[in-house]
Amino acid sequence: MIRTGFNKRFKDPSLTLLQIVIATFWLMEVLYYAESVRGAVLLDFLIIFILGLFKFNVREFLFLSFFTVAGYAMVILLLYKNYPESINFKMEILNIVILATVLPWFSLVGGYITRLRTKVVRSLSIIKESEQRYQELSIMDDLTQLYNSRHFYAQLEKEIERSNRYNQPLTLLMLDLDRFKTFNDTYGHIEGDCVLSRLGQVIKRCLRDPDSAYRYGGEEFTIMLPMTTSEKGMITANRIQTEFRKESFIPVPGQEVFVTMSIGLLQYKPNEEMRAFVHRVDQLMYQAKQQGRDRICSE
């Protein structure tokens, strides 16, 4: 069944219950011919039951216990019919009583172990999910739902290594909101936070799956574009800038305000040092501000 893959059609692909039933059946066959050592052979039922120790609940164990006791009683009846001289009724009745006592007790213990294992697995799963969630929170910026600057440098190092190894282009954008300090001073930090949050949403809408965006600090953001030349990066930069120009803010009733951004864009040079790369794109962003803001500067 396993070789043909037929076992995968069942809830338990390991077919533990079927294996135990078959093993129990063959042990009954052994008991039929065991004669004087029949009592010792009965201990093998516990070994068989161990197969289901981490699989079965109490109900399944009790079913197997009933099946085993009934099967052994059937063996004794057959012996009584065919070879009455080979059995000791008092001893066989004692064996059945012991079997009917020990196996249900083992079933309760086995069911408890199964429940305990299930709880442990569930607890480990919760812990793993919590660790994953904590890791995500540790690299995310709460306000913009973009990655933070610490994660930026870790990822940029990996992308630079990949770019050098496979000779792939890598483009970096750095953008800064124009006159954002004035906006904050005029309308307050709550309204400023609203602008930052909306910008995070716009950036995420404009990126591809391989791209990643980061809140670099304050109102500065960086965007990493792997396997992207500066020419294609310009398309992404223009899209972000255009989409954000459409975003209107109403910090004061009846007053609609629009916020612009200045963007620096740069393609990585092979074997360039990471800090130098970031510094060059940072200088391009400030160049965009010096040239009148609301524009993109690149080399």
Catalytic residues: 219
> Beta strand pairing status for 212-217 and 248-252?
unpaired
Cα→Cα distances 289→98, 292, 293, Å: 90, 5, 4
| Structure tokens belonging to residue 26 | 């063959």
Q: What is the DSSP string of 26-69?
A: HHHHHHHHHGGGHHHHTTHHHHHHHTTTTT--HHHHHHHHHHHH
C-alpha–C-alpha distance, residues 38 and 32, integer Å? 8
Residue 177 has a CB neighbour count (10 Å cut-off) of 22
CA dihedral 134, 138, 143, 144 (to 10 degrees): -110
Determine what percent of the chain falls in helix, strand and coil, rounding each to the nearest 5: 65, 15, 20
Residues 271, 167: contact at Cβ < 8 Å?
A: no
